[in-house]
Amino acid sequence: MPADPIIFFNRLTGRLETEAVYGDGFLRFTYENPLGALPLHALVKRAAFSKWYGSRMDAPASREKVAPFLATYGLDTSEFADSPDSFRTFNEFFYRKLKPQARPIAPGDDVITFPADGRHLVLPDIAACTDFFIKGTRFDLPALLRDAALAARFAHGSMLISRLCPVDYHRFHFPCAGTPGPARPVDGPLYSVSPIALRRRASIHWENKREITLLRNPALGDVLLLEVGATCVGSIVQTYTPDTPVEKGAEKGYFRFGGSCFITIFEPGKIRFSDDLLEHSRAGREVYARMGDIAANACT
């Protein structure tokens, strides 16, 4: 029986497209084949495995992987801030910077932008979501935040889940202006965040290693920003300065090698997501869009 493809809506092309999954065979074996359960729990989900794989991507020999990767996935090198030939390792290429004009930031104080390139899914009311990837599964906000009072305050809030694939730009940015506090680390395993894995284990988002930052915005109140690690993510690197005001679109940090995701949570009644996000998320389908594009508008 053929494996279920990952279908998403591409905002840039206006079409439904099929994701070209990096490491598809490995992912499907570990998450869909019963024989994959043993290596998954004994090795793949553990930090040591991702640290080992990340170290391979930091080795000088990994530089040879850059050109074949570019050829296979057709990345636009004209967007890169540095020449593809300048990267000394695959990881340097992976967390590359882009030219500022490659990701213009949508203007307007009432406009909230995507924090990262990727495939995005929204929950307009977190508590109302009863089929999160698996029928009958609710999103466990208390488990995600590890803070009962904070989870109660955001229980009916709005959530944007931005999933980054290995082919994506892997720096993440602030979706609105404000003053960010320090990032609070929460330990956990490192499962894949691909839909291939989530269809079998929807709890991955609130199990995986993550970091949580509270951003204070005068109009939106408190906004929660979470970086969620995943298999082969060597580390989450924060580049911002806590307790210092930031502009919308300012860089917050970057992921080292691997797929990963960024979660943004807003207080109840503060924002309304864009129509295409609402439409496709209702159908259980992600929307591909880029950092700086419009994700939502503040409610007036």
Q: What is the pTM (predicted TM-score) of this model?
A: 0.88
Mark whether 170 is an active-site residue. Answer: no
Angle at 161 between CA 206 and CA 217, to 5 degrees: 100
Contact indicator for 265, 157 with CB cutoff of 8 Å:
yes
Highest mean pLDDT out of 16-20, 57-61, 275-279: 275-279
Check 50, 62, 117, 162 and give the catalytic one.
117
List strand residue ranges (DSSP E) for 131-285, in order. 158-164, 171-173, 179-180, 184-186, 210-217, 221-228, 236-238, 251-255, 260-266, 271-273
| Predicted pLDDT at 191 | 75
More confidently predicted of 44 and 115:
115
Pick from 183, 251, 267: which is nearest to 218 by CA? 267
Q: Which of 70-79, 104-113, 149-158, 200-209 has the lowest mean pLDDT?
A: 200-209
Task: Count other C-beta atoms under 10 Å from residue 247's C-beta.
Answer: 11
CA distances from 104 to 83, 218, 295 (A): 20, 23, 14
Q: Who has greater pLDDT, 287 or 192?
A: 287
Residue 211 has pLDDT above 60, yes or no: yes
269 and 109 Cβ atoms separated by less than 8 Å: no
Q: Which residue has the higher pLDDT, 42 or 109?
A: 109
pLDDT number for residue 38 = 41
Q: Which domain holds residue 95?
A: 1-300
147 belongs to the catalytic site? no
Q: What is the pLDDT of residue 128?
A: 92
40 band by pLDDT with thresholds 50, 70 and 90: very low
Chain segment 233-257, per-residue pLDDT in tens: 558 999 999 999 999 999 999 998 7
Known active-site residue 276: no
Q: Tell me what the pLDDT averaged over the chain comes to.
A: 86
Q: Shortest CA distance to 51 belongs to which of 254, 209, 205? A: 209
Q: Who's near 86: CB < 8 A, 6+ residues apart?
A: none
Question: In this model, does residue 272 exceed pLDDT 80?
Answer: yes
Q: State the average pLDDT over residues 210-235.
A: 89
pLDDT of residue 203 exceeding 80: yes
pLDDT at site 258: 66
Spatial contact of 113 and 176, defined as CB atoms under 8 Å apart? yes
Q: Find, among 125, 71, 104, the residue nearest to 173 by Cα.
A: 104
For 7-29, what is the mean pLDDT?
A: 75
For the chain, what is the domain count?
1
R_g of the chain, CA atoms, integer Å: 18
Catalytic residue among 173, 194, 205, 222: 173
Token pair for 188: 């956990």
From 158, 260, 274, 281, active-site residue = 260
> Do the Cβ atoms of 221 and 267 come closer than 8 Å?
yes
Q: In what order do the strands lie in the sheet with 251-255?
A: 171-173, 251-255, 236-238
Mean predicted confidence (pLDDT) in 18-22: 72
Cβ atoms 208, 189 nearer than 8 A: yes
Stronger pLDDT, 285 or 32, i.e. the higher one: 285
| pLDDT tens-digit map of 144-198 | 999 999 999 999 999 999 999 888 999 999 999 999 999 999 988 877 777 777 8
pLDDT greater than 60 at residue 63 = yes
